[in-house]
Amino acid sequence: MTAPLKASEPIVVPVALGARAYNIVIGRGQLATLGARIKALRASAKCAIVTDANVARQHLTACQMALKAAGIESTAIVVAPGEGSKSYATFETVCEAIIAARIERGDLVVALGGGVIGDLAGYASASVRRGLDFVQVPTTLLAQVDSSVGGKTGINSRQGKNLIGAFHQPVLVIADTALLDTLPARDFRAGYAEMAKYGLLGDAAFFSWLEANWRDVFAGGAGREQAIAVCCRGKAGIVARDERETAERALLNLGHTFGHAFEAGCGFSDRLLHGEAVALGIALAFEFSARRGLISAADAARACAHLAAVGLPTQIKQVPGGVPGLDALMDWIAQDKKVKRGKLTFILVRGIGQAFVENDVDAAEVRAFLADKLSNPSA
């Protein structure tokens, strides 16, 4: 992650949502264009920049300078880093700070950070004055390939992840890939889980490309922008067809039902990052699919092997500090957002790149599968 800091011609990926359509701008050095792009969207807007303390140290000044160069007044709202900020308390703090900054309906909120900040700032934007427009400036790989696109915003409940929130689309996404150069290796690796997810759920050729080129993605070569763009195009297409997750969009949750349960079991802490939980969840989803006879053991092993090759967890024993008991895991799974009338819904696979939504999964079957995994965590 030591590629030179230089601007590149951006890749622009449109998200086709009619009157609410917006662009994802991908490329090195694109943060410097933020002010000009906002000026083109909202000529007289002020901005509230929501970020966390870690990102503020690295990128807040550059963000403010980009806005100032375009004559845009801004106020910074800095919260604590980490999943713990997706809480009622921090949500209240951000909302009150936006109001105190006199951000009006014609103004904008800028989410400068990773998935936590995007979810938090987006939900505050959806709520303050009954709806403010906002811009996503994702600073992590996970946010650039996934969470900054599509309008899912929210905070966590004590009973599960992302259970309080709203669909609220941004008006612009600026994915400056140079910002990833300062990302800790663990965080970059965690974000890669969401990148691999796109190949595993619906693009077998992209997954094969990742198997051959993941080192270039990690090193910051030309493959990084290419891979991010592939993921964004994939998600943009799904969101345009199913914005509110009534059908196809649920596929983007591959690995998340298992993964969110393990995240909750770790107290939404740095013990297990979201992307690490997703990687473990994907491995379990493939293994559960193999157990059901949907895919071959070889396909399941191939998916797990790639995740393991980049350093992501694929076995329960790899969760630091251990995991909660079976009853607790099943309780969290039962609170998953995809549950319908108490029936479990899982994203399963019929092969690499062939995910599908399986409704009405028997909880007893899931319980038996997890019981086997907990009793033999290396299996």
3-state secondary structure of 156: strand
Distance, in Å, from the CA atom of 334 to the CA atom of 257, rounded to the nearest integer, reads: 9
Token pair 């059901």 is found at: 292
Residue 260 among the catalytic residues: yes
Whole-number pLDDT of residue 246: 87
- Residues 166 and 244 sit within 8 Å (Cβ to Cβ): no
Out of 161, 224, 235, 306, pick the active-site residue: 235
Q: Do 144 and 195 fall into the same domain?
A: no
Whole-number pLDDT of residue 28: 95
Residue 306 among the catalytic residues: no
Residue 152 among the catalytic residues: yes
Cβ burial, residue 32 (10 Å; 0-12/13-18/19+): middle
- Residues 147 and 157 sit within 8 Å (Cβ to Cβ): no
Q: Do 99 and 120 fall into the same domain?
A: yes
- The pLDDT tens digits for 285-300 are 999 999 999 999 999 9
Whole-number pLDDT of residue 378: 65
Q: Do 197 and 156 fall into the same domain?
A: no
Secondary structure letter of residue 58 according to DSSP: I
Out of 83, 225, 245, 263, pick the active-site residue: 245
Whole-number pLDDT of residue 1: 32
Residue 245 among the catalytic residues: yes
Out of 260, 306, 337, 373, pick the active-site residue: 260
Out of 59, 249, 306, 373, pick the active-site residue: 249
Residue 338 among the catalytic residues: no
Cβ burial, residue 241 (10 Å; 0-12/13-18/19+): exposed
Q: How many domains does the chain have?
A: 2
E strand or H helix that includes residue 26:
strand 22-27
Q: Record the pTM.
A: 0.92
Which regions of the chain are under pLDDT 50?
A: 1-5
Q: Do 312 and 355 fall into the same domain?
A: yes
- Residues 124 and 113 sit within 8 Å (Cβ to Cβ): no
Q: Do 228 and 160 fall into the same domain?
A: no
Residue 274 among the catalytic residues: yes
Q: Do 101 and 218 fall into the same domain?
A: no
Distance, in Å, from the CA atom of 357 to the CA atom of 378, rounded to the nearest integer, reads: 27
Out of 59, 152, 161, 233, pick the active-site residue: 152
Q: Do 161 and 268 fall into the same domain?
A: no
Q: Residue 35 belongs to what domain range?
A: 11-182
Q: Do 285 and 137 fall into the same domain?
A: no
Buried b / exposed e along 252-273 (16+ C-beta atoms within 10 A): bbbbbbbbbbbbbbbebeebbb
